[in-house]
Amino acid sequence: MAIFNGTDLGVYSDQVLIAAATDVTLTLNAETIDITTKDSSAFRELLPGLRSGSISVSGLIDYVDASNKDFMDLYTAWETRAVLALKFSRSSLATGEASFSANAFITSLEQSGGTEDTATYSATFELTGTIDETVA
């Protein structure tokens, strides 16, 4: 069994790690089309429909980390409605491990800071087009 530490997972935008992330999530969805008829014997019948996905990331705000994508880079992408090339992956893949990549738009961007707490951000990316899986 090849269980690994979740700390190794990251979200990369245009091959650059999104900065100071503390949590990353890849969500894949599949819609269905109801094709139930009177001949269905009172059981619902379905066909596969559209597939979609999203990636979310949250972390600590660091306005001066020039080596990674920071909150201001995400803000610029949101403001300009830029399409981002995202990759959800471990930093270095072992043989047989998968990464997922797709183009995406930022649909939600938030920053917050509580009294005597760290300043944090969160971003949600809605994937557009094909979601590609690559196995190392």
With respect to residue 67, please indicate whether it lies within any of the assigned structural domains: yes
Report the pLDDT averaged over residues 100-116: 96
- 93 located within any domain: yes
Q: Map tokens 């139930």 to a residue.
A: 36
How confident is the model over 70-85, as pLDDT tens digits?
Answer: 888 999 999 999 999 9
Specify if 1 maps to a domain. no
* Domain with 25 in it: 7-135
Three-state secondary-structure class, residue 6: helix
109 close to 30: Cβ distance less than 8 angstroms:
no
Using one digit for the tens of pLDDT, what is the confidence trace for 40-99?
999 999 999 999 999 999 999 887 767 778 888 999 999 999 999 999 998 776 777 889
Based on the structure, what is the number of domains in the chain?
Answer: 1
CATH classification at residue 30: 2.40.30.200
DSSP 18-75: BTTEEEEEEEEEEEEEE---TTSTT---EEEEEEEEEEEEEEE--TT-TTSB-HHHHH
